[in-house]
């Protein structure tokens, strides 16, 4: 079952600092919403609000029509900006965390999570410790861990930000078919406009803090997996320039933003 | 080969230093130079060779007393370990209890617990009781405080990530907080085992009929300086061995580091 996600007039502040303001969004079941915006504009905060780790100061967020934090938390899985792989577990045990928490036996959980390792280009690394993995592999394990939760809503916070350009392009190309096959409702935060357009159905651009909606842009339709064809297409380029223009016009965030 | 070279690089310098110091001491004490300078009788300033001789001659007596002290240390340390881990966990789980007691716990570390040893003797008598209490008390704080710091050092994002993956409070503790706190608990245990030896000797000084601390008091009164030094050497050995044992367990348990 795939569920919808929506926000109405969402706003949030930390103390005196307004971080998000007046956000409306709607994500249909199985769609991917990209969120772009300058550093410190509240993208990570938005994800924490959606998945019920925080309560928004203003407005409501609904996941499958449920608006309480507890019910949103029960339906959404969060991939934090830092991968948060637990160094005392192997790649496989990290990926299987959700199943272990659900009470599956270690053998069962490992078998189920292990089935995905091949598809994620991780076979052979099941028993590696996180510090033995490359940056790209760590991100894939972290994503796998999120996916294995079987939750309907996935909240991905800059999944590829820490990677070099080539690895990032490779992983984007890899993620696109995974997302369409999985049919989950996804919010993907990134500061890479191209990545947002390539992976999302709709892109929400935010202004500098406090993050307000600057634009909502439909990504070019019929995006195929061949990334170099997509990102060089005419419609793609026009939208990319449009988004970049919007982000450039919004003023630089002031000091004190979180990394 | 490479590993052997690595081990040698770690152990050789301190070993050489210790040997050099022992050699210097042997020279200074063996020739009577040191005693001369201090204006003391020769037998009051034993050389390492004399200490080694006494250690061998009286090995039965020293070993019997060392066994008593070792049992006190191990029992006191074990009690402190259990209590320290339990209290740290309790304080971690109860915000109210922690806010009330953490400052008290930290402040109480400044109380020289050793000076209350005489009271403990009055309460518990000459048996193992007061020694155990002193050792457990001074070992408790480094273990409890370090473990609690470790539990609180956990990356909050990891905890929140676990919450979105169905984790209950106790699962978060088992899978995230406890493993993260383990290195801290080991640091605390290493500090504790070193002070445990001091605590045992003090406990015995205050009142006992057996143990290396007791033997030291007797030897001191009878000016048997060489055997006094022998007891000190054995106590140091106990501390070093226990410290290393904890290090070994730490290495085995914390493979990921
Ligand atoms: N727990 C918090 N307490 C106080 N202020 C916070 C907290 N979390 C975030 N902030 C502030 O809120 C603002 C938005 O932070 P957020 O992490 O959501 O931005 P972001 O858009 O994800 O930035 P980046 O692109 O650098 O990751 C920042 O100014 C940050 O300092
Ligand atoms: Mg962020």
Q: Which CATH number do you get for residue B120?
A: 1.10.3720.10
Report pLDDT for B102: 83
Distance CA A199, CA A164 (A): 18
A165 and A139 housed in the same domain:
no
Structural domain ending residue among the three candidates A98, A118, A150: A150
Give the relative orientation of helices B117-124 and B128-152 as an angle to the nearest 10 degrees.
Answer: 120
| A151: contact with B, CB 8 A cutoff | yes
Residue ID of nearest Cα to ligand 1 atom 5? A14
Confidence of residue A229 (pLDDT cuts 50, 70, 90): low
Please report the atom of ligand 1 found closest to the CA of residue A189: 22
Mean pLDDT of A34-57: 93
Number of domains in chain A: 2
Residue at B42 is within a domain: no
The answer on pLDDT for A101 being more than 90 is: yes
The answer on pLDDT for B23 being more than 50 is: yes
Cα B54 from chain centroid (whole Å): 25
Report pLDDT for A255: 46
A21 and A107 housed in the same domain:
no
A134 and A114 housed in the same domain:
yes
Residue at B12 is within a domain: no
The 10 Å Cβ neighbour count of residue B7 is 10
A157 and A221 housed in the same domain:
yes
The single-letter DSSP state of residue A253 is P
CB-CB contact of A12 with A56 (8 Å):
yes
A155 and A221 housed in the same domain:
yes
Please report the atom of ligand 1 found closest to the CA of residue A46: 18
Among chain A residues, CA nearest to B169:
A101
Report pLDDT for A222: 56
A9 and A71 housed in the same domain:
yes
Q: Which domain covers residue A217, as residue numbers?
A: 5-75+151-258
Q: Which domain covers residue B191, as residue numbers?
A: 71-253
Confidence of residue A253 (pLDDT cuts 50, 70, 90): very low
Mean pLDDT of A16-41: 92
Mean pLDDT of A115-130: 92
Mean pLDDT of B106-126: 77
Three-state secondary structure string covering chain B: CHHHHHHHHHHHHHHHHHHHHHHHHHHHHHCCHHHHHHCCCHHHCCCHHHHHHHHHHCHHHHHHHHHHHHHHHHHHHHHHHHHHHHHHHHHHHCHHHHHHHHHHHHHHCCCCHHHHHHHHHHHHCCCHHHHHHHHHHHHHHHHHHHHHHHHHCCCHHHHHHHHHCCCCHHHHHHHHHHHHHHHHHHHHHHHHHHHHHHHHHHHHHHCCCCCHHHHHHHHHHCCCHHHHHHHHHHHHHHHHHHHHHHHHHHHHHCCCC
Structural domain ending residue among the three candidates A150, A177, A192: A150
A130 and A155 housed in the same domain:
no
Mean pLDDT of B183-197: 95
Mean pLDDT of B187-208: 91
The answer on pLDDT for A106 being more than 70 is: yes
Q: Among A40-44, A95-99, B10-14, B82-86, which stretch is predicted with the lowest mean pLDDT?
A: B10-14
Select from A51, A101, A103 the residue whose CB has the most chain B CBs within 10 Å, as the one to mutate to test that interface: A101
The answer on pLDDT for B1 being more than 60 is: no
Q: Domain with A171 in it: what CATH number?
A: 3.40.50.300
The answer on pLDDT for A259 being more than 50 is: no
Helix (H, G, I), strand (E, B) or coil at A136: helix
| B162: contact with A, CB 8 A cutoff | yes
Contacts of A86 (CB under 8 A, 6+ apart): A94, A97, A130, B158, B175, B176, B179
A64 and A11 housed in the same domain:
yes
A146 and A190 housed in the same domain:
no
The single-letter DSSP state of residue A233 is S
Structural domain ending residue among the three candidates A96, A122, A150: A150
pTM: 0.86
The answer on pLDDT for A21 being more than 60 is: yes
A160 and A43 housed in the same domain:
yes
Distance CA A104, CA A112 (A): 10
The answer on pLDDT for A256 being more than 50 is: no
Give the largest Cα separation in chain B, rounded: 76
Number of domains in chain B: 1
Q: Among A233-247, B46-60, B65-79, B240-254, which stretch is predicted with the lowest mean pLDDT?
A: A233-247
A156 and A131 housed in the same domain:
no
Residue B252 backbone class (left: φ over 0; alpha: ψ -120 to 50; beta: rest): alpha
Among chain A residues, CA nearest to B179:
A88
A180 and A253 housed in the same domain:
yes
The answer on pLDDT for A252 being more than 60 is: no
């Amino acid at each position: 079952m795939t569920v919808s996600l929506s926000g109405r007039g969402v706003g949030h502040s930390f103390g005196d600092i307004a971080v998000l303001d007046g956000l409306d969004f709607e994500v249909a079941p199985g769609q991917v919403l990209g969120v772009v915006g300058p550093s410190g504009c509240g993208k990570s905060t938005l994800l924490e609000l959606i998945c019920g780790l925080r309560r928004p100061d203003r407005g409501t967020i609904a996941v499958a029509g449920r608006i309480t934090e507890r019910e949103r938390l029960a339906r959404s899985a969060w991939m934090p900006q830092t991968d948060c792989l637990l160094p005392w577990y192997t790649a496989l045990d990290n990926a299987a965390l959700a199943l272990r928490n659900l009470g599956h036996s270690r053998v069962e959980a490992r078998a189920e999570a292990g089935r995905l390792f091949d598809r994620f280009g991780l076979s052979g690394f099941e028993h590696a410790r996180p510090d033995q993995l490359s940056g790209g592999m760590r991100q894939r394990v972290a994503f796998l861990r999120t996916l294995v939760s079987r939750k309907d809503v996935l909240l991905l916070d800059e999944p590829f930000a820490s990677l070099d350009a080539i690895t990032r392009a490779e992983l984007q190309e890899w993620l696109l078919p995974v997302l369409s096959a999985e049919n989950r409702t996804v919010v993907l935060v990134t500061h890479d406009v191209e990545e947002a357009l390539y992976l999302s159905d709709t892109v929400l651009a935010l202004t500098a803090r406090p993050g307000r909606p600057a634009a909502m842009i439909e990504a070019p339709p019929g995006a195929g997996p061949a990334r170099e064809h997509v990102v060089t297409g005419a419609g793609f380029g026009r939208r990319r320039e449009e988004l970049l223009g919007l982000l450039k016009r919004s003023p630089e965030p002031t000091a004190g933003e979180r990394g | 080969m490479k590993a052997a070279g690595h081990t040698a690089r770690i152990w050789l310098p301190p070993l050489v230093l210790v040997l050099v110091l022992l050699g210097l001491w042997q020279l200074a004490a063996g020739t009577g130079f040191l005693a001369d300078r201090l204006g003391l009788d020769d037998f009051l300033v034993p050389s390492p060779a004399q200490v080694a001789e006494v250690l061998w001659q009286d090995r039965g007596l020293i070993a019997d007393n060392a066994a008593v002290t070792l049992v006190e240390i191990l029992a006191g340390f074990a009690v402190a370990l259990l209590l320290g881990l339990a209290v740290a966990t309790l304080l971690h789980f109860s915000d109210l209890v922690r806010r009330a007691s953490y400052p008290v716990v930290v402040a109480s570390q400044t109380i020289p617990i050793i000076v209350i040893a005489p009271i403990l003797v009055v309460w518990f008598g000459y048996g193992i009781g007061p020694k155990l209490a002193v050792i457990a008390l001074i070992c408790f704080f480094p273990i409890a405080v370090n473990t609690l710091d470790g539990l609180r050092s956990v990356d909050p994002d990891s905890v929140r990530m676990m919450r979105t993956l169905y984790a209950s409070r106790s699962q978060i503790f088992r899978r995230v907080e406890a493993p993260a706190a383990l290195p801290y608990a080991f640091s605390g245990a290493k500090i504790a085992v070193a002070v445990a030896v001091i605590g045992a000797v003090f406990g015995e000084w205050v009142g006992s009929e057996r143990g290396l601390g007791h033997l030291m008091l007797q030897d001191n009164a009878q000016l048997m300086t060489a055997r006094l030094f022998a007891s000190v050497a054995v106590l140091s050995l106990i501390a070093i061995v226990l410290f290393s044992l904890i290090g070994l367990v730490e290495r085995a348990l914390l493979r990921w580091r």
